[in-house]
Amino acid sequence: MQSGDSAAGAARNDYEAEKACIFEQTNKRVTLNLLIQGAAAHTFLTAHHLVKDDLEATRLGLTRLYDKLVISAHLSYWLGDFILLYGPHARFWRRLRRHDHPLHQHRLLAKHGEMLSLTSKRHLLERGRKKWVIRIPVLHYVHMLWLAGRVAWTERKYRPQLAEIAKKATSIIWGIDEDRLDAELTSKVAFGHLQTPRTIRGKIIQSGIIGYGGVERREGRFYVVGKAWFWPFLSHELVKGTAELVCLHGLNTLDDETYTRVTTEADQLEYEIWSLKVGPELWRRLLAVMPDDRPLPEVLMHIARLDPQPLEHLMLAVIEEPQQARQLLAKFGE
């Protein structure tokens, strides 16, 4: 009997240890998703200026159009039709504080998510004011659709050239070889193995997606793939895929079963909008404390390799103790 009790106790301990591992790795993946989406959304606002000469040589006036569209499109997460799906902004953060919310124990989101989201919104409103972007609900949405229509009409004859320029912009930012980037401006954006949404809300969101970015393995080599309707979204997806490629270093020690369980839980489509709200400000604060003498991909790779608890400590320090975060980051790679 004692032997049976011991076996049952050992089995329970193994189960609890596995459950704790999945929980910690899922929280880590959520944090990495915040950085991945944050890097892409931050670049979304400015990438066209890095290749302005190429864009203007392709079609005069593109950068001015993109200036308005990127701000208006990103503001739509706070002012657009997403409110109809998710409800008022504050409701999500109230629900997240409840113990039954799946992200309740993600300390960074629970403590600072709402603040980071509101700071991102203020950042966009200020940029929008300077660029004459309409920032009044409903009118903003109409204006955004009008801007998207103008961009689509303007880009229609130049899609292959613009795809190459998007690859160039990504290469400039991340130092990745352009031959490892696969970019296409197209209305058929889905590729690879897409995760099935769990809710009706997720299915509605998936039906309206206008860009996908990620990593594909081809003949033993990883490639970054981006597909989108418009150039700024294509640039966004390429950056997202490149950041995802770097962050794979943080999950490559997991066995296949654990990796699948973690990504299935953390990569839900319903969470993406919150990563796009919170991530950009978190990414800007991380950039502010990054070492000046290290390449961006190298630093992000070291961050991704951290165990869940040290990663959580670092990200909280980025917000609460920037000087401490700067010192921690300076030690990477020594």
Split at pLDDT 50, 70, 90, the class of 243 is very high
Instruction: Report the pLDDT value the prediction gives residue 51, as an integer from 0 to 100.
Output: 97
Split at pLDDT 50, 70, 90, the class of 22 is confident
Split at pLDDT 50, 70, 90, the class of 12 is low
Q: Is the model more confident about 116 or about 3?
A: 116
Whether pLDDT at 15 is above 60: no
CA atoms of 129 and 121, how far apart (whole Å): 12
Instruction: Report the pLDDT value the prediction gives residue 105, as an integer from 0 to 100.
Output: 81
Q: Write down the pTM of the prediction.
A: 0.90
Whether pLDDT at 8 is above 60: no
Q: Where are the chain's structural domains? A: 18-157+252-330
Least confident among 110-114, 116-120, 281-285: 110-114
Query: What is the mean pLDDT of the segment spanning 295-320?
Result: 94
| Mean pLDDT, the chain, whole residue set | 88
Whether pLDDT at 150 is above 80: yes
Query: What is the mean pLDDT of the segment spanning 261-269?
Result: 81
Instruction: Report the pLDDT value the prediction gives residue 333, as an integer from 0 to 100.
Output: 64
Instruction: Report the pLDDT value the prediction gives residue 14, as an integer from 0 to 100.
Output: 55
Query: What is the mean pLDDT of the segment spanning 167-196?
Result: 91
Split at pLDDT 50, 70, 90, the class of 284 is very high
CA atoms of 168 and 177, how far apart (whole Å): 9
Whether pLDDT at 281 is above 90: yes
Strand residue runs (E) in the chain = 181-185, 211-218, 221-228
Query: What is the mean pLDDT of the segment spanning 143-166?
Result: 96
Whether pLDDT at 1 is above 80: no
